Amino acid sequence: MAEFNRKSDTVPKPPESRENPTVGIAPSPSENIGQKRLADFDLDGKVFIVTGGARGLGLSLAEALAETGGKVYCFDREPKADEGWNEAARRADKFGGSLHYKQQDVQDTEGLDRTIAEIADKHQRLDGVIAAAGVQHLSPAQEWTRDEVNRMMDINYTGVMMTATSAARQMFKYKIHGSMCFIASMSGTIANKGLLSPVYNSSKAAVIQLARNLAMEWSPIRKDGTGGIRVNCISPGHILTPMVLKNFEEVPGLRETWEKENMMGRLAETTEFKGAALFLLSNASSFMTGNNLVIDGGHTAW
C-alpha cells in the first residue's frame, strides 16, 4: 500500500518555464520613470500576510510593507498583539497602509487555510506572504526526543509550507502574480559557533530548499494566467530578538562570541531587514526567484 496519496494518477511534472515564461509582471521601462519616486517599491492597494507578526522581526517586516501602502495581516498565536504592535499599526495608518492582527497558529492548518481564504476573498486578491513564524530550542543532539523534533519541524518547516501552499491557492484563484519571502537563517547553511541547535539549523536549511522548489513550480505563468509567483528567502545573521536574548541568558558569553564572528562586530536590529523584505515583495525584485538573500554582517563571508 502506498504511504502517500496523490489526487491524480498522473505523475505531476513542473511547468516548463520556456513554454510558460513569466512575462508581464515586470514594470515597463517607461512605466515608472519620471512619474513617481521609487515607484517599483510602491505597494499601494496590495494585500499581504506576515506570520510571526506580533513582535520582533516579523513585526518589523510587516511594518515595512505597510509603510509603502500595503494592507498587512499579521498572524501570531498570541491572543492579542502587544503594545509595540499597536504603535506600529498607528504609524502604518499615518503612511497610508494598514496593519491588522489575526490570532492564528501556523500549526493549525485548517484554521490557517480558512483565515487566508477569508482575507483573499474580502479583498479579491492576495499579493504576498512573509513566513516569519519560528521557534528555537537549545539542546545537545542526543537529548532530543522524537516529539521535540517533530514540534520544531512542524512550526519552522511545515508551518512555512502550509502557509505558502494556502496562500498560493488564493493567488491562483484570483490570478495574482505575487511574491513570497521565507525567513530562513544563515544557520541553514552553517553550524553556529557556541550554539547547540541541530534541529533549528536543519529546519532552516529545509526552508531554503523549499523556496527553491516552490519557485520552480510556481514562477512560470500557465496558459490560464495562473502562476507567476516568485519565492525567495532571507537568511539573517544574528539579530537582537526576544528569542536571541533568551539564548544569551542560557549561554554565558554567547553574545560576545557572536559579535566577534562577523565583520561588523555587532548584532543586527530587526529594522535592518525591512528594506530587504520590501525589495522581495515589490516589483523592485521582479526578476528574482528561487534565491536566498544572506544578510549577516559578513559572518559567512570569512
Strand partners, 183: 234
pLDDT score, position 3: 74
Q: Point out the least confidently predicted range of 82-86, 120-124, 153-157.
A: 82-86
Annotated active-site residue 7? The verdict is no
pLDDT of residue 1: 47
Checking if the pLDDT of 31 tops 70, the result is no
The rounded percent of the chain whose pLDDT value lies above 70 is: 96
Per the annotation, the verdict on 204 as an active-site residue is yes
Strand-pair category, 128-131 with 71-76: unpaired
Task: Give the per-residue pLDDT at 34.
Answer: 56
115: cell is 483565515
pLDDT tens-digit series, residues 170-197: 999 999 999 999 999 999 999 988 789 9
Q: Is the pLDDT of residue 300 over 60?
A: yes
Up-side HSE of residue 186: CA atoms within 13 Å toward CB? 18
- Across the range 88-115, mean pLDDT stands at 95
Taking the mean position of all CA atoms in its chain, how far away is CA 119?
Answer: 18
pLDDT digits (tens, 9 = 90+) for 66-91: 999 999 999 999 998 878 899 999 99
Least confident of 19-28, 161-170, 201-210, 282-291: 19-28
Catalytic residue among 46, 71, 102, 204: 204
Q: Choosing from 7, 200, 246, 260, which is the catalytic residue?
A: 200
Region 17-37: what's the mean pLDDT? 69
SS (H, E, C) the chain: CCCCCCCCCCCCCCCCCCCCCCCCCCCCCCCCCCCCCCHHHCCCCCEEEEECCCCHHHHHHHHHHHHCCCEEEEEECCCCCCHHHHHHHHHHHHCCCEEEEEECCCCCHHHHHHHHHHHHHHHCCCCEEEECCCCCCCCCHHHCCHHHHHHHHHHHHHHHHHHHHHHHHHHHHCCCCCEEEEECCHHHCCCCCCCCCHHHHHHHHHHHHHHHHHHHHHCCECCCCCECCEEEEEEECCECCHHHHHHHHHCCCHHHHHHHHCCCCCCECHHHHHHHHHHHHCHHHCCCCCCEEEECCCHHHC
What is the arithmetic mean of pLDDT over 118-125? 98
Mean pLDDT of the chain: 92
CATH topology of domain 39-301: Rossmann fold (3.40.50)
In the chain, what are the domain boundaries?
39-301
Q: Give 156-172 pLDDT, tens digit per residue.
A: 999 999 999 999 999 99
